[in-house]
Structure 1
Amino acid sequence: MRTTIIKRTLRVPTSDGAPGDGAAVARQLDAALLRSGFKASRDLLEHVSGLHDAEEFAGDTVRAVKELIGARGQHNPYFKEFPHNVPDTLAFWWECVRDAVEQGVEPTGNLLDLPGYGRVQHTYEEMLAAHDDLVPSLKDRVTVVRLGGTLEEEVQRLFEELATSPIPLAENDRALLGELAVLAEDVELDVPVRENRAILNAARLVAQRPLQDVDTVTDVLRLAAEASGGDVTLEEPTRFRSFRRPERRALLRALNEVAESKLGDVNQHREAWKRLGERLHPHEYPFERAQDVFAVARKEKVARSFAGQVELAFADGDTDRAARILANAPGLLLRQLDRLLRNGAADLPARVGEAVPQVSSRVLISVLEHLSNRSAPDTARVFATRARRVWIADDDRAPLDPAQVAPIVEVVEDELVRRLPEHSALHVDDEVLDVVVPVSGTEEGFGVLPRGSKLTFEGDVLRFFVHWRQQAKRTDYDLSAVLLNEKFEYQGQVSWTQLKDGGAVHSGDVTDASAGATEFVDVHRLRTNARYVVPQVNIYSGEGFDDVAESMFGFMTRDLDQMGKPFEPSTVRARSSLRGKGKVALPVMFEREGDTWFGTWLHLYLRGSAWGNRVEENRDVVKLIAAAALRRRYFTVTRVRDLFARMGSTVDAPAIRIGLAQDETGAVTTVAELGKLLSD
Structure 2
Amino acid sequence: MDLEALVIARRLRVPLDSLDGSAPGWGEVAARQFDAALLSVGFTCSPDLLDRLSRLPGETVMDLGVRVLAVVRHLVGDHVRHNPYFVDFPANVPDTLEFWAGLLVEAMLDPVAAARLQGPALNLLDLPRYGTYQHTYADLLAAHAELIPLAGDRITVLELGGSLEAEARELYFSLAGSEAPLAAEDLVTLRTLASSCAEEPERIPVRENRAVINEVRLAAGRPLLVDTVTDVLRLACGCSGGDVTLTVPTRFRSFRRAERRALLQALDTVASPAKLGDVGRHREQWKRLGERLHPYEHPAFPRAAQVFEVARGLRRAASLDGRVEAALAQSRTADAVALLENAPGALLRRLDHLLRTGPSVPAVLDAVERAVPQASGRVLLSLREHLQNRLTPAAGRVFTNRHGRAWTSPDSRPPLEDKALASVLAALDEEITRRLPDPGELTVDPDVLDVALPLSGKAVAPGLGMLPRGSLSAVDGELLRFFVYWRQAEERTDYDLSALMLDACYANPAHISWTNYTNGFAQYSGDLTSAPDGATEFINIDLAAASRPIIIPQVNIYAGERFDEAAEAFFGFMTRDAAQQGAPFEPRTVRMKSDLRGSGRIALPLVFLRGEDGGWRAKWLHLYLKGHPHFNQVEGNRVTASLLVRSMVERDYLRVGYLVDLMRAKGSASGQATHIGLQAPAGLPSGARVYTPSTLHELIPA
Normalised-by-shorter TM-score class:
over 0.9
| Match for residue 404 of structure 1 among 420, 427, 431 | 420
- Is 1:390 matched up with 2:406? yes
CA distance 1:530–1:379, shift in 2 (3 Å): same
Measure how far apart 1:595 and its partner are: 4.7
Measured on the aligned residues, the alpha-carbon RMSD in Å equals 1.8
Aligned to 2:256: 244
Contact 1:133 1:563 in 2 (8 A): yes
Q: Residues of 2 paired with 1:58 and 1:669: CA distance?
A: 27
Q: Residues of 1 paired with 2:253 and 2:508: CA distance?
A: 51
* Structure 2 counterparts to residues 253-402 of structure 1, below 5 A: 253-258=265-270, 259-286=272-299, 287-344=301-358, 345-346=360-361, 347-402=363-418
How many aligned residue pairs are there? 678
User: What residue identity is the alignment partner of 1:222?
Assistant: R
Measure how far apart 1:671 and its partner are: 4.2
| Match for residue 631 of structure 1 among 650, 653, 659 | 650
Aligned to 2:439: 423
Larger mean CA deviation between 497-506 and 242-251 belongs to 497-506
Q: Residues of 2 paired with 1:475 and 1:88: CA distance?
A: 25
Q: Residues of 2 paired with 1:576 and 1:295: CA distance?
A: 45
Helix, strand or coil for the counterpart of 1:455? strand
Measure how far apart 1:375 and its partner are: 3.0
Contact 1:436 1:635 in 2 (8 A): yes
Contact 1:476 1:510 in 2 (8 A): yes
| Match for residue 107 of structure 2 among 92, 100, 109 | 100
For 1:462-501, what per-residue CA distance to the aligned partner results, in whole angstroms no more than 9, with x for missing partners? 1101111111121111000100001111330000111113
Larger mean CA deviation between 117-126 and 338-347 belongs to 338-347
Aligned to 1:440: 456
Aligned to 1:115: 128
Structure 1 segments unaligned to the other structure (5+ residues):
none
| Match for residue 599 of structure 1 among 615, 618, 622 | 618
Percent identity over paired residues:
49
TM-score, normalised relative to structure 2: 0.94
User: What residue identity is the alignment partner of 1:393?
Assistant: S
Contact 2:554 2:602 in 1 (8 A): yes
Measure how far apart 1:611 and its partner are: 0.8
| Match for residue 45 of structure 2 among 9, 28, 40 | 40
Q: Residues of 2 paired with 1:602 and 1:59: CA distance?
A: 34
User: What residue identity is the alignment partner of 1:603?
Assistant: H
Q: Residues of 1 paired with 2:610 and 2:384: CA distance?
A: 29
Contact 1:453 1:600 in 2 (8 A): yes
Measure how far apart 1:98 and its partner are: 2.5
Contact 2:78 2:587 in 1 (8 A): yes
Aligned to 2:71: 64
- Is 1:582 matched up with 2:600? yes
For 1:260-286, what per-residue CA distance to the aligned partner results, in whole angstroms no more than 9, with x for missing partners? 311000011111111111111111112
- Is 1:9 matched up with 2:11? yes
Larger mean CA deviation between 375-384 and 143-152 belongs to 375-384
Helix, strand or coil for the counterpart of 2:592? strand
Q: Residues of 2 paired with 1:670 and 1:376: CA distance?
A: 30
Larger mean CA deviation between 142-151 and 249-258 belongs to 142-151
Q: Residues of 1 paired with 2:339 and 2:82: CA distance?
A: 58
Structure 2 segments unaligned to the other structure (5+ residues):
none
Helix, strand or coil for the counterpart of 1:203? helix
Contact 1:436 1:452 in 2 (8 A): yes
Contact 2:604 2:622 in 1 (8 A): yes
User: What residue identity is the alignment partner of 1:373?
Assistant: N
Contact 2:556 2:633 in 1 (8 A): yes
Helix, strand or coil for the counterpart of 2:509? strand
Q: Residues of 2 paired with 1:377 and 1:66: CA distance?
A: 43
Measure how far apart 1:672 and its partner are: 4.4
For 1:281-313, what per-residue CA distance to the aligned partner results, in whole angstroms no more than 9, with x for missing partners? 111112111000000001110111111110010
CA distance 1:156–1:645, shift in 2 (3 Å): closer
- Is 1:55 matched up with 2:74? no
Measure how far apart 1:640 and its partner are: 1.2
TM-score, normalised relative to structure 1: 0.97
Aligned to 2:242: 230
Contact 1:377 1:396 in 2 (8 A): no
Q: Residues of 2 paired with 1:17 and 1:418: CA distance?
A: 42
Aligned to 2:550: 532
Measure how far apart 1:318 and its partner are: 1.0
Helix, strand or coil for the counterpart of 1:370? helix
Helix, strand or coil for the counterpart of 2:113? coil
Q: Residues of 1 paired with 2:664 and 2:368: CA distance?
A: 23
Measure how far apart 1:534 and its partner are: 0.2
Contact 2:407 2:644 in 1 (8 A): no
- Is 1:676 matched up with 2:698? yes
Measure how far apart 1:188 and its partner are: 4.8
Measure how far apart 1:350 and its partner are: 2.2
Helix, strand or coil for the counterpart of 1:180? helix
Contact 1:590 1:599 in 2 (8 A): yes
Contact 2:453 2:697 in 1 (8 A): yes
Aligned to 2:525: 507
Q: Residues of 1 paired with 2:523 and 2:495: CA distance?
A: 17
Q: Residues of 1 paired with 2:123 and 2:600: CA distance?
A: 26
| Match for residue 172 of structure 1 among 160, 175, 185 | 185
Contact 1:492 1:501 in 2 (8 A): no
Aligned to 2:229: 217
For 1:589-648, what per-residue CA distance to the aligned partner results, in whole angstroms no more than 9, with x for missing partners? 00124552100000001111111111111010111012111111110112112222443x
- Is 1:157 matched up with 2:170? yes
